[in-house]
Chain A
Amino acid sequence: MVTQSVRSARGRAEVIIAATRGVGAMEEEMHTDAKIRAEIGTGCSPRGPGCSLRHFACEQNLLSRPDGSASFLQGVAEKSRERLIRNTCEAVVLGTLHPRTSITVVLQVVSDAGSLLACCLNAACMALVDAGVPMRALFCGVTCALDSDGTLVLDPTSKQEKEARAVLTFALDSVERKLLMSSTKGLYSDSELQQCLAAAQAASQHVFRFYRESLQRRYSKS
């Protein structure tokens, strides 16, 4: 379980966000997609046309009451991941507009089918947007895996991550596609890094378009 808190200042006013179901909904969609395709027997991988990211969906504002702010820190690896997400949020959130306010982001992993950190980042961003927290840019997470031949796979599944030589996760901002956060595992060369970064920047366009569409859909309904 990954739980995480972003604090901009001391204080009690909490903006609790429906981050959690967002993560769940995303992961569940990916699983169903895979199953359906397998039954049809087309043999194609469950990825959308034109880009190699898996299909994703998002539901917002499902929880009617706050989720409780227990930030339960188990283990050093979780602490490290929390710090990555917190620092990324702090870089984009305009904290100076909300003095003496605590912004807590709680992320609950419902299912893990690979690319977990990227999914957490996307969920955190959508949740902050849903809460109406002023930000200087949106951010998205993209994971790349490099296998032993050097082939790049975007948005790897758990199996692909385990077999990969290196797994790189980037957080990119929406304004200039600059690198906000990076967390890597494994050994890779400088040119492979630049390749992955370029691929991640291209893929981030799809993620930002998805953000825009899902927000448009939500606000056009109400």
Chain B
Amino acid sequence: MAAGFKTVEPLEYYRRFLKENCRPDGRELGEFRTTTVNIGSISTADGSALVKLGNTTVICGVKAEFAAPPTDAPDKGYVVPNVDLPPLCSWRFRSGPPGEEAQVASQFIADVIENSQIIQKEDLCISPGKLAWVLYCDLICLDYDGNILDACTFALLAALKNVQLPEVTINEETALAEVNLKKKSYLNIRTHPVATSFAVFDDTLLIVDPTGEEEHLATGTLTIVMDEEGKLCCLHKPGGSGLTGAKLQDCMSRAVTRHKEVKKLMDEVIKSMKPK
């Protein structure tokens, strides 16, 4: 009976739950789904992380390669993110060139990296004007159940924390780079940006961490990316219903608490890996 009503009138079905200040999966309006993270599972990548936000699963793999630095910034390296939403994660996506959703997500991650200065690009330079590291960050969604941006940001951060780069010296005689695989060092991660996404329902109600169905029924979305000092790296609101300044303030405070939760989780996981 309930399943029938849900198929015929999905919005009404949701409204019944929202009236009681909860959602069909039992969460409150301000509650996130269970977040799990697994760091360093891919041995062929220089750094990797798998993040699960409820059912939404994103895996990030970072590969480091050599490249010539850009001519206008000879002391900087590159960080190149790419978000892939393959057909296996959801019926929404077809195989072929990246669709709009994937491109927008890639641009979002590129903006977060640029704005938050998570890595100082100067740290990636080996020899100014000649050689620099380029970090290819590939984020692949394995299961799409809403809130892809939060999962991608978290996966990227965890993978970058896991990246170990070998020491590179330039041999003066041969002018070739010599890589010492035995001596590896972690990247210097300067800030920890954490994303919190909200969905706007019926122009008034704000719910945190929307699932795939909720995103589909929502009239607007909002993503806030905050670092540990409370500074905002990104306020991404791509159209949709309007928000007042007061509602934005509520979102900010929720983003602050979410940052603490995520930071704590990540520190625990990294600490548990240290003895290796």
One of B15-23, B24-32, B149-157, B235-243 at the interface: B235-243
Complex Cα distance, B232 from A218, in Å, reads 43
The 0/1 profile, CB within 8 Å of B marked 1, for residues 181-201 of chain A is 111111111100110011000
B245/A194 in contact, CB under 8 A: yes
Nearest chain B CB to A143 CB, angstrom units:
14
A91/B245 in contact, CB under 8 A: no
Q: Is A162 interfacial (CB 8 A cutoff)?
A: no
Nearest chain B CB to A73 CB, angstrom units:
9
Which residues from B are CB-within-8-Å of A83?
A: 100, 104, 238-239
Q: Is A86 interfacial (CB 8 A cutoff)?
A: yes
A182/B237 in contact, CB under 8 A: yes
Given contacts A182-B235, A185-B111, contact A197 B245 (CB under 8 A): yes
- Name A168's closest neighbour in chain B (CB-CB): B235
Which residues from B are CB-within-8-Å of A194?
A: 245, 248-249
Complex Cα distance, B248 from A193, in Å, reads 10
Chain B, interface size category, equals: 20 to 34
B199-242 with Cβ < 8 A to chain A = 219-220, 227, 230-242
B239/A79 in contact, CB under 8 A: no
One of A38-46, A172-180, A208-216 at the interface: A172-180
A179/B232 in contact, CB under 8 A: no
A79/B104 in contact, CB under 8 A: yes
- Name A175's closest neighbour in chain B (CB-CB): B242
A135-191 with Cβ < 8 A to chain B = 168, 171-173, 176, 178-190
Q: Is B270 interfacial (CB 8 A cutoff)?
A: no
A184/B232 in contact, CB under 8 A: yes
Nearest chain A CB to B250 CB, angstrom units:
12
Which residues from A are CB-within-8-Å of B107?
A: 76-77, 79-80
- Name B222's closest neighbour in chain A (CB-CB): A182
**Known A83-B104, A182-B235, A186-B115; further 18 A-B contacts with Cβ < 8 A:** A76-B103, A83-B238, A84-B239, A91-B219, A91-B242, A173-B242, A179-B245, A180-B237, A180-B240, A180-B241, A181-B238, A183-B235, A184-B115, A184-B234, A187-B115, A187-B116, A189-B231, A193-B248
For the complex of A and B, 8 pairs with smallest distance between CB atoms: A87-B239, A178-B242, A88-B239, A80-B107, A182-B237, A79-B103, A76-B103, A87-B238
Cross-chain pairs A/B with CB under 8 angstroms, 29 sampled? A76-B106, A79-B104, A80-B103, A80-B108, A83-B238, A85-B239, A87-B239, A89-B239, A91-B219, A91-B220, A91-B241, A176-B242, A176-B244, A178-B241, A178-B243, A179-B237, A179-B243, A180-B237, A180-B239, A180-B241, A182-B235, A182-B236, A184-B232, A184-B234, A187-B232, A187-B233, A189-B230, A190-B252, A194-B249
